[in-house]
């Protein structure tokens, strides 16, 4: 990426008039931004590609007609996003997410092996706005986070994990797994830069795999299970 003609890989504060150029490989140029998963008169569920920002995807999909963005994923996180097509469903889904009546299941490919094949971990998260990241600690500073992980598969010195969020904070999965000594492959912010380079991994291997609406305020979606068909 170049900003005002200068190559950069860092987070920068843009100003009016700045020129940003992003160069893609031939593979990236042929990349599809999303795959459709489900649609009816009130909702749209899509499977977002890694490398596509939630904001850009929303802008693209909005060209089809009125659409409301209910939640988002990091640009380099692939997986399921649900959009409302009516104001009534938008309000219902917002309340469902707020009341934690939406089950969100993730998968992550990480360096290392968890100490237990299944465990629930608690810690505390502090936002560092100046560095555009979050920091995890066990001393009670910041907001409490709870992350559940299960080992799905060993791949040499890598592990495929199922991850369930019991709290939903910014960058929780990426930062908490790194804190536990299980950095996500390809994560350039919280991960292992040396091992990422060795694998030529430039995008985090994190997938929003499963989405289930459990709110009675969304009767047409109640109990529906949406799944991504991607692999990590």
Task: Tell me the C-alpha distance between 30 and 211, whole Å.
Answer: 27
Beta-bridged to residue 2, according to DSSP, are 7, 21
Task: List Cβ neighbours of 188 (8 Å cut-off, separation of 6 or more).
Answer: 196, 202, 204
Please report, for residues 29, 99, 190, the alpha-carbon distance to residue 164 in angstroms, rounded to integers and kept in the order given. Answer: 33, 16, 19
Q: If you count them, how many residues does the chain have?
A: 232
- Tokens 């100003």 sit at which residue? 15
Backbone angles phi, psi at 158, to 5 degrees: -110, 155
Is residue 40 among the annotated active site residues? Answer: no
Catalytic residue among 47, 74, 187, 192: 74
The catalytic site residues sit at 74
């Amino acid at each position: 990426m170049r900003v005002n003609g200068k190559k950069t890989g860092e987070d920068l504060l843009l100003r009016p008039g700045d020129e940003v150029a992003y160069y893609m490989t031939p593979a990236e140029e042929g990349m599809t931004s999303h795959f459709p998963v489900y649609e009816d008169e009130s909702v749209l569920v899509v499977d977002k590609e890694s490398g596509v920002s939630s904001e850009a995807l929303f802008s693209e999909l909005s060209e089809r007609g009125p659409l409301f963005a209910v939640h988002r994923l990091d640009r380099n996180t692939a997986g399921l996003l649900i959009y409302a097509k009516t104001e009534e469903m938008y309000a219902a889904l917002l309340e469902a997410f707020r009341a934690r009546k939406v089950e969100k299941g993730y998968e992550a490919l990480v360096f290392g092996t968890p100490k237990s094949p299944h465990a629930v971990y608690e810690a505390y998260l502090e936002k560092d706005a100046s560095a555009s990241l979050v920091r995890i600690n066990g001393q009670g500073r910041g907001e409490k986070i709870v992350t559940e992980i299960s080992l799905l598969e060993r791949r040499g010195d890598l592990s495929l994990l199922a991850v369930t969020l019991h709290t939903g904070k910014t960058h929780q999965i990426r930062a908490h797994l790194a804190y536990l000594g299980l950095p996500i492959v390809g994560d350039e912010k919280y991960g292992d830069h040396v091992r990422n380079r060795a694998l030529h991994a430039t995008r985090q291997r994190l997938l929003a795999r499963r989405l289930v609406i459990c709110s009675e305020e969304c009767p047409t979606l109640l109990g529906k299970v949406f799944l991504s068909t991607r692999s990590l």
